[in-house]
Amino acid sequence: MLIMNKTRLENFTDAILAISMTLMVLGIVAPVGAGLADLWGLRYQFLVYGLSFFTVAIYWRNHHYIFAGERKISDGVLRLNMLLVFLLTLFPFITAWVGVENNIFALVPELTFGTIMLLSNVCFTALDLAVAKSDGTKAIFSKNRSVVTIAVNLAALALCFIFPPAVLIGRAIILAIWVVPPKRAL
């Protein structure tokens, strides 16, 4: 069942992601002092913010590629998109939580960060496949890239129990995998 024009869904998603990205930077509290040592104290916040910001930016870009050829949005695609948007709106919270002082080395914040990242990856892959199915074409993103991304996420989550920052290292690897758009999108 076709329910809406793709432009409406894209505009809604664009607005939510822009707000989410803005909220992430607002989670970084300016240092009280004026020295470099004070700024250095925020290094973890900036690291986590950078990883989260560029993750959302890549989702935004890839979302555009997925919907570039679509005209109408089915109910199933709309539901998957809303789930993805829900997960991406959690990024300001998890970014702030992991970025706090020593939480970068704490299991529960990193595990939460990694789990939300994994769920976002799975949801994005399902969205790509659902859009392709609804218009009778091949998915924009290769299954190999999606499988590798999910595997890196799972490995990072497993390693998180030994070394919590493994989640952030995994996220950096995933960003490197996704920084280049697919050939079909260029």
pLDDT digits (tens, 9 = 90+) for 22-63: 999 988 888 888 889 888 988 999 999 999 999 999 999 999
Phi, psi (degrees; rounded to nearest 5) at 31: -70, 150
The whole domain housing 108 covers 2-185
Q: Residue 7 in contact with residue 79, Cβ under 8 Å? A: no
- pLDDT, tens digit, 9 for 90 and up, residues 164-178: 999 999 999 999 999
Comparing CA positions, the residue from 117, 111, 176 lying closest to residue 150 is 117
- Among the residue ranges 4-13, 115-124, 145-154, the one predicted with the least confidence is 4-13
The pTM of the full predicted model, rounded to 2 decimals, is: 0.90
Over 90: is that where the pLDDT of 144 sits?
no
Q: How many domains does the chain have?
A: 1
